[in-house]
Amino acid sequence: MATQQRTAAHTPLRTQVRRASGLDRNPLCRPVDRARSRTALALPLVLALLVAVGAAVAVLVFRVETQAEQETARHRHAVTATTVGPAVTDDLRTGSARAHAPARWAYPVGPGTGTVQVAAGTGVGSTVAIQLDDSGVPAAGARTTAAVLSDAGVLGVGTATGLVSLAVVGYTVHRRTLDRRAERSWEPDWERVEPLWSQRR
């Protein structure tokens, strides 16, 4: 059985194509052998298609997220804030380099005050660049193109990997089913073909 599987796996491409298309007139070529060849030829095509699907997902995500970040950027305004109190580290247990501090700033809608993100150790009276929304409230700025590209790439690769994994599992299960079918039918098939092969009457 293992020899049959190795032989099938190393069958030349031309023979696989002839067998899959039904042009192989060899009396030893059984329907299950044609099914094996069709499966072997279909796998790389399916895998290529699934990789293309993953790439399409990445492109789509990149376009959608880029559009969203561009919309966000239109409603963000960079201003300079001045801290009016000491910086407090966000997580003392992990030694975080991020902190927050009370600050004030000027904006066309009027002066503003609030808590802003700063680097740990920022002193009172330090200036910090912040982003405000249209109403003058601190808000997260738009993400960079690199960040959007990274997200799109992760989703695209994840989609392709998941689909390819499912396809390989499906191929393996189907191939084993064909191998079991071939093993069960070998004796009956040989009894049918052997007289033709040996010219025995």
Burial (CB < 10 A; 0-12, 13-18, 19+), residue 72, is: middle
pLDDT single digits (tens) 99-148: 899 999 988 877 889 899 998 888 999 999 999 998 888 888 899 999 99
- Distance between CA atoms of residues 171 and 163, nearest Å: 12
**Is pLDDT of 3 > 50?**
no
Amino acid at 192: R
> What are the φ/ψ torsions at residue 147 (nearest 5 degrees)?
-65, -40
- Whether the predicted model's global pTM rises above the 0.85 cut: no
By C-alpha distance, which of 102, 108, 39, 113 is closest to 78? 108
HSE (side-chain half, CA atoms, 13 Å) at 66 = 11
Task: Please state, as a whole number, how many other Cβ atoms lie within 10 Å of the Cβ of residue 3.
Answer: 7
HSE (side-chain half, CA atoms, 13 Å) at 72 = 14
DSSP bridge pairs for 116: 101
Find which of 18-22, 25-29, 107-111 is predicted with most confidence, using mean pLDDT: 107-111
Quick one: average pLDDT of 79-105? Answer: 82
